Structures are given as C-alpha cells and as structure tokens.
Amino acid sequence: MFSEKQKVKAIAASALIYVMFIGSYWFFSSYKPKALSEVREVRGYQTQKETDVFDLPYPRYAQGLASDQTLNTKKFTFQTDKSPQEIQNFYSNILLGDDWKLKKEGSTDNFFTTEYRKDDLSVTVWSYFDEDALMTFASIEVLRLE
C-alpha cells in the first residue's frame, strides 16, 4: 500500500508538526506582556458642554435606593439629609444652567415637584421630607418624548 519512503516522510512530517505544536504552545504559555505605563492625563478630541441628561449626578452624601432604565427613560431614587428644597435647587442649577426650561413646579408642606423640558427630553424631580425617618427621599425621572 505505502512504500517505505512514504512512511518515513509521513512520520517525519508528523514529528515536525508535533514539534511545532509543542514549541508554539510553550511560546504562548510563557508570553509575558510588557507593563504599560499609566496614563495620567487624558485628552479628548473635543469636549461636550451639555450635560448628558441620562447621567445626572446625585447630591453629595446621597444614598441611592433604586434605579430603573429603559430605552427612553431613566429613573433613580435616593435618600439624603438635605431638605427637599435643597434637592430642587441642586437640579435646578444643573438643568437651568444647561438651557433647560422650567415647565411645571408645585409644592406642599413636605413635597416638591418640578418638571423641566428641553427639545424632546423631560426631567421630573420629586423630593419629599419624611418626618419619621428625618430624611429626604427624592426621585429623578428622565424621559425621552417621542
């Protein structure tokens, strides 16, 4: 069937492939990448002046309680030791400083709500002081209107 010469060639080719496999495996397993230096300063192509409304910040020392996001909405709820009016002022400074328009505003003794609009976006800020917990609970909803 096979001549002696063909058998020797097949064994030599198999041995060569085996040695190459062992060599490549050893080379791969012993590879140690060079440590990259830490980048201290990051420079971008351009900066964006507008606030990304889907990433509004929490007030300082606020504790996040819940967050929910869909394709067109994002809502997050948190508690803080700040007053409901301070929460309203916090978001008012951020949004009005970024050319948002005040759409609605309302309040009772312990509950404040404000709605802002800009283009096809709406942000609603609710804040409530709970006298039993002595904490303010706030919720921010960002909605993309279609």
Q: Domain 53-144: which topology?
A: TATA-Binding Protein (3.30.310)
pLDDT in tens, 7-40: 999 999 999 999 999 999 998 888 877 766 655 5
pLDDT in tens, 71-127: 889 999 999 999 999 999 999 998 988 889 999 999 888 899 999 999 899 999 999
* Residue boundaries of the structural domains of the chain: 1-31, 53-144
Any alpha helices (H) in 79-135, and if so which ranges? Answer: 84-96
Cα(78)–Cα(85) distance, integer angstroms: 15
DSSP state, residue 60: T
pTM, full prediction:
0.62
